[in-house]
Each structure stands twice: as C-alpha cells, then as structure tokens.
Amino acid sequence: MKEKLQGILQAAKEQLAAAADPRALDEARVRYLGKKGELTALLKGMKDIAAEERPAVGQLINDVRSEIETAIEKQRAAIEQAALAHKLAAETIDVTLPGETLPIGKKHPLNIVLDELKEIFLGLGFSIAEGPEVELDHYNFEALNIPKDHPARDTQDTFYISDNVVLRTQTSPMQVRTMEKKKPPIRIIAPGRVYRSDAVDATHSPLFHQIEGLVVDKGIRMSDLKGILELFAKKLYGEDTVVRFRPHHFPFTEPSAEMDIQCYRCHGAGCPLCKGEGWIEILGCGMVHPKVLEMSGIDPEEYSGYAFGIGLERTVMGRFKIDDIRLFYENDVRFLEQF
C-alpha cells in the first residue's frame, strides 16, 4: 500500500511539474484527486483493509493528498507567474523611444497672405465684414451703378442662379450692404470668394478671392485713399516699395484709379515678370460715387468715402513668385509644403 501511494505521489508530481497551462493542471488534479481519481479510489477501498491498519493507511492517504494539493498550488502559481512574465515581455514599451511624428498641415498660401493683410488693416482701425457669395443682382450690380444694360457687366460675366440671383463677381456688394446697415464713420475690409465665368488658364479661374475696402466719413479725400494704400503696400511688400496711381474707370467710384507697385524684380527697368512695364497692377480703387452713397442711404452732401478692391491670388502670386493660379486649388501637397 505504501509503495502504491509513493508511486501515485511520484507520478502526480511528475505530471504536475510538466503541466504548462491551467488546463493540463486541471487534468492532473482530476486524475489524482477527482471523484474518480486514483486517491479517491484508494479511499473507497479502505473498507477492505483490516480495521487496525485503517487509521495509519488513512493518515498516509491524507498526507499524500495534501502533498499533491500543495504541489498543485505551487504549480498553479508557477504557471501564473510564467504567463505574467510572458505578457510583460510581450507588452514592453520603451518610454524613452522618440514618438512617431505625424505630418501636420500648413496654412494655405492664400491664407498666409490674407491673414497678413487682415493684420495690417486691423492695425489701421478697420474691422472685418463678411457677406453672401450667392448675391442679389441688385447688390452685385445695380446698387453699384451698373444697371442691366451697362457694358461693365460684360467683363464680369457670372453664374446666374436666376435672373436676379448671381454668384457675386466682386466683393464690392459688401460696400452697399455695409452702408445700408451702418451709419458713418465706416472703416471695413471684406475678404471673400468671388466668381466669374472665365475659362481656366494660368491667370484665370472661375473662382478667386478679393478683399474689398471701404471708408466713409465726413471730409474723406482722395489723399486719404492714397495715403492708406501706400502704407498698406509698404507693409505688405516692404518699406522700399514704390507705388503709383493710374486713372481708370469703375462705375461705382469717381474718380477711379488703379494702383501699381514698381516691379520688385527689376525695380522699374522692365522684365518678364512685369511684362516689360516696370510696374505691376495690384488693386482698383476710387472715391465712392455719390450716386452709390445715395442709393445706400448716405447723404453725399454730408459724407464722402473711398473704396478699393484687391485681388488676393494676384497678390500672393507676386509675393511668392507663383506662375500658375491653378496651383492654389489643386491641393497638391508638394506645392503646399513649400510655404
């Protein structure tokens, strides 16, 4: 009996030591200690043993049983320990490694310059106005002194939503919208998208951006307009920038002018960038036409004002020497990364 028990204990210890996972461990437990297990079978056989030997044999079986139980617990702890060690090794994180660098986007070149422009005008006491891109014909044309049959409409052909609703061709309607809402003094810039039904090429796009400016107050003169626009050009293109004003015609300003800056590449000598002119046109401007003031509910006898319109794309192309307007809208990161 004793040898038999020793044999069972030995076999159990060996099987337990070999159990590498909880399932194998449980199989071993059932085999030796379970209801149909080998020790249980021995206990069941106690009735065949002589009465005087029973206590000693019983004691022996119990000793073996508790030894096997201890061995099971030890092995369970070992398996758990091994599993934990394995998990920790597999999940090692080296917190000293440098992080993964995710590519981050950049400001679009149009926005870089637009933000600079806003800064300049905010610094000069202007505020920023915004208005609809889908505009009434009335604001885009009529109220700017461009009636239905006016030839100026030909150069600003646009997309019609209906006879009276268009995609705005210019930010100038913001002049009228502002004057209708606010009494002078008025000092605003109004940046935004504008549309024209132009064929796409290196310098034309059916969608582009303008920045409108409007100042209305008592005693505003052409010299105020010239002063502020020259200051603006110097802040944007550098202190040594030279500007000139050329007479022009816009239906909503009188007198009207265009402002050129002396070519920053050839300094007036003439080069391919300025097409041999020595000058580059950057904006249209003028004194607000008295009729426009009147139509917007402002008395031209009491107030006067000036207005200007800057083409954003053209300004940015000059600034960064970009030769094709289409690059702005293609979202090619190889282009966008350069700014």
Our CB check for ligand DAH shows the closer of 212 and 313 to be 212
CB of 242 to ligand DAH, least distance (A): 21
Does the footprint of ligand DAH cover residue 173 (CB under 6 A)? no
Amino acid at 177: R
Q: Which 74-93 residues touch ligand DAH, going by CB under 6 A?
A: none
Our CB check for ligand DAH shows the closer of 57 and 259 to be 259
Our CB check for ligand DAH shows the closer of 65 and 314 to be 314
Our CB check for ligand DAH shows the closer of 64 and 317 to be 317
Are 305 and 214 in contact, with CB atoms under 8 Å apart? Answer: yes
Does the footprint of ligand DAH cover residue 109 (CB under 6 A)? no
125 torsion bin: left (phi>0), alpha (psi -120 to 50), beta (else): left
Does the footprint of ligand DAH cover residue 140 (CB under 6 A)? no
Our CB check for ligand DAH shows the closer of 71 and 310 to be 310
CB of 119 to ligand DAH, least distance (A): 20
Sheet containing strand 279-288, strands side by side? 127-128, 186-195, 207-217, 304-311, 279-288, 253-262, 243-250
CB of 283 to ligand DAH, least distance (A): 7
290 torsion bin: left (phi>0), alpha (psi -120 to 50), beta (else): alpha
Q: Which segments of the chain are extended strands (E)?
A: 127-128, 134-136, 160-162, 165-167, 186-195, 207-217, 243-250, 253-262, 279-288, 304-311
Our CB check for ligand DAH shows the closer of 170 and 262 to be 170
Among 172, 205, 262, 296, indicate the residue that binds ligand DAH (CB under 6 A).
Answer: 172
Amino acid at 270: G
Residue sitting closest to ligand DAH (CB)? 309
CB of 332 to ligand DAH, least distance (A): 28
CB of 188 to ligand DAH, least distance (A): 11
Q: Which 212-241 residues touch ligand DAH, going by CB under 6 A?
A: 212
Q: Which 272-331 residues touch ligand DAH, going by CB under 6 A?
A: 284-286, 307-309
Token pair, residue 145, equals 């002194």
Exposed / middle / buried, residue 155 (Cβ in 10 Å: 0-12, 13-18, 19+): exposed
Helix (H, G, I), strand (E, B) or coil at 133: coil
Does the footprint of ligand DAH cover residue 135 (CB under 6 A)? no
CB of 93 to ligand DAH, least distance (A): 59
Q: Which residues bind ligand DAH (CB under 6 A)?
A: 170, 172, 212, 250, 253, 284-286, 307-309
